[in-house]
Amino acid sequence: MKDLSRRSFLRAAIGVTIVGATSSVISLFAPGKLKAASAATDMQPGGFPDGYDPFAHLFSYVIDLKKCIGCGSCVRACKKENDVPDEFYRTWVERYQKGRDRPVEIDSPDGGLYGFPSSTAGTEGVSKAYYVPKMCNHCAQTPCVQVCPFSATYLSPDGLVLVDGERCMGCGYCVQACPYASRFLNPRTKTADKCTWCYHRISRGLRPACVQACPTGTRMFGDVKDPYDPVRHIIDTERIGVLQPQMLTKPKCYYIGLDKEVR
Amino acid sequence: MEHSKHLWRAVLILLVLSLGYLLGRGLLVPDTFGEYGHFRGANLAEQMNVRVPNHGIGPESCAPCHAERVKNIAKTPHRVINCETCHGPLRTHVDYPSIEAFMKNPSQFKRTAPMEIHSAQDLCIKCHDAQPAKPKGFPTVEVVQHLKEMGVEPGPNVCMECHDPHDPKI
Ligand code: SF4
Ligand code: SF4
Ligand code: SF4
């Protein structure tokens, strides 16, 4: 009796294994076809926009923390430009508050989408406070690209880290691998999603939506292959930092006025 | 030459294996894979065309119809703010098939809906509410106290009673 049940269990287990292996082989052959409708709803026709050569640029981003007022305009612009699903963020803003006798407090209500609540209560003893906008750092040594089993996420010639929605299987390895929590699985497309520095804009000579919406000049975007670019000038001449340098990911988002508490 | 049979058999097996490899590779690797690097090259163009930009190019995209506004705000401290920061993306107001077409001749496109207008509560306060984290020198007010001092009842559009967002006059 006992033996029989074991045999039927083994048989079932083998069956499941075979079915699983077959379906994963099928999905290997036709990765895109198993996917639900792709993310793009508003596709523009065509190849590269006129006059755009991805090999002629190398983009970088500078965030001047001394200027940020935590208004959240950048988060709102990103949501509207990129149709980011509710409760997910491609860019978000954090607030850091600390004092000699107070531990660091970090909050980011709704990613800063609606700004930050007034702080008239509960800020006694805060001696240092600031906002930190965050997003994908478009790392040059990316853990997210290294772990992708399908080469779905990659480093583009112009320095961006992008996700190919047709090849992405939504396994989530890259979401786990990113030390900055920049990625999420899009519940609509079931693929990895994150900031693209508005690739559909910058390849047409426009600025990313967050940079354009920022009223204080906190966010700056530029091309370090252009010798007259102001962002390249800042990177070359000012004291800048990157998030979690110990991770050796070589981010291309640089921060002016970064504090040791920011991680 | 009885033993050459083994040789042919080995050659045949090798042939079948390499054909199988080539066939499998052809099926598994997308056409444009490796064109620019270790990824499907066609995705670069797909990403560039993933959607029509919703935000315009800055106040320049509003000026063809709202020249006076754009000119006047340029004389105020609020000149640093892009129109769409407060009003929302241009494409909810004017429909254009591509940003290239829009940039070539903005005024040829029809207005499709009124532009978003936020209430003061939704907007002014997000920048000008006094908080410890605001940079020094940035103009802020303790909203509750300020309203009390000015003798104004709190309400959704209360800031606009004294300040015009297009010419704030502090
Ligand atoms: S910030 Fe994260 S998602 Fe962006 S490139 Fe770096 S590791 Fe990848
Ligand atoms: S979820 Fe990330 S790691 Fe997994 S296939 Fe998609 S891009 Fe690659
Ligand atoms: S729009 Fe600019 S100032 Fe406002 S929160 Fe974003 S980065 Fe900071």
Q: What's the start-to-end Cα distance of chain A, in Å? A: 59
Residue B19 · residue A170 · CB < 8 Å: no
For residue A129 the two structure tokens come to: 């406070």
The DSSP element (H or E) to which A94 belongs, if any, is: strand A91-99
Out of A40-44, A125-129, A143-147, B60-64, give the one with best mean pLDDT: A143-147
Distance separating alpha carbons of residues A183 and A163, to the nearest angstrom: 10
Q: Is the pLDDT of residue B136 over 80?
A: yes
Q: Give the pLDDT band of residue A144 (cuts 50, 70, 90).
A: very high
Chain B nearest CA to A139, separation (Å): 16
Interval A236-255: pLDDT, tens: 999 999 999 999 999 999 99
Contact B73, B164 (CB under 8 A): no
Query: Please, what is the average pLDDT of chain B?
Result: 91
Whether B135 and A69 lie within 8 Å, measured CB to CB: yes
For the sheet with A59-64, list strands across it. Answer: A219-223, A59-64, A253-256, A240-241
ipTM of the complex: 0.89
pLDDT of residue A89 exceeding 80: yes
| 111-170 in chain A: CB under 8 A from chain B | 114-116, 118-120, 123, 126, 129-131, 151-152, 154-157, 162, 164, 166-167
pLDDT value of position A33: 40
Q: What is the pTM of this model?
A: 0.86
- Separation between Cα atoms, residue A25 and residue A21, nearest integer Å: 6
Tell me if A58 CB under 6 Å of ligand 2. no
Separation in Å, CA of A137 to nearest CA in chain B: 18
Residue with tokens 């008239």: A120
Question: pLDDT class for A207, splitting at 50, 70, 90?
Answer: very high
Give the residue, by CA position, lying nearest to ligand 2 atom 6.
A168
- Alpha-carbon distance B157 to A157, whole Å? 48
What is the mean predicted confidence (pLDDT) over A69-86?
96
Beta strand A59-64 pairing with A253-256: parallel
Residue owning the nearest CA to atom 2 of ligand 3 = A214
DSSP A39-77: S-SBPPPSSSPTT--GGG--EEEEEETTT-----HHHHH
User: Is residue A163 in contact with ligand 2, taking CB distance under 6 Å?
Assistant: yes
In the structure, what pLDDT confidence band is assigned to residue A31 with cuts at 50, 70 and 90? Answer: very low
pLDDT at residue A59 greater than cutoff 80: yes
Q: Which residue's CA is the closest to the ligand 3 atom numbered 6?
A: A74
- Asked if the C-beta of A49 comes within 8 angstroms of chain B's C-beta atoms, the answer is yes
Number of helices (H), then strands (E), in chain A: 7, 11
User: Chain-wide mean pLDDT for chain A?
Assistant: 88
Inter-residue contact A231 to A222 (CB < 8 Å): yes
Residue A94's identity, in one-letter code, is: E
Given a cut of 60, is residue B91 above it in pLDDT?
yes
% of residues, chain B, pLDDT over 90: 75
Query: Ligand 2: distance of its center to the CA of B46 in Å?
Result: 18
Tell me the CA distances in angstroms from A134 to A137, B72, B77, one per residue in order: 8, 34, 27
Span A190-200, pLDDT tens digits: 999 999 999 99
CA pair distance B118, B103, nearest whole angstrom = 26
Q: Hey, what are B152's tokens?
A: 């104004």
CB contacts < 8 Å between A and B, how many?
A: 169
Q: Give the distance from residue A194's alpha carbon to the nearest chain B alpha carbon, in angstroms.
A: 13
Say if CB A262 and CB A96 are below 8 A apart: yes
Residue to probe by mutation, ligand 1, list A148, A161, A175, A247, most atoms within 8 Å of CB: A161
Whether residue A200 contacts residue B48, with contact meaning beta carbons closer than 8 Å, is answered with yes
Assess whether the C-beta atom of A180 lies below 6 angstroms from ligand 1: yes
Give the CA distances from residue A3 to residues A8, A85, A224, B40, in Å, rounded to whole numbers and listed in that order: 9, 52, 70, 51
Find the DSSP H helices in chain B. Answer: 4-28, 42-48, 59-73, 83-87, 99-104, 124-128, 143-150
Q: How many CB atoms lie within 10 A of CB A232?
A: 18
Spatial separation of the C-alpha atoms in residues A190 and B88, rounded to whole Å: 28
Query: With an 8 Å Cβ cutoff, is B51 touching chain A?
Result: yes
- Per the CB < 8 A criterion, the answer to whether B93 and B113 are in contact is yes
Write down the residue that tokens 């097996």 correspond to. B13
Of A21-25, A57-61, A117-121, B149-153, give the lowest mean pLDDT range: A21-25
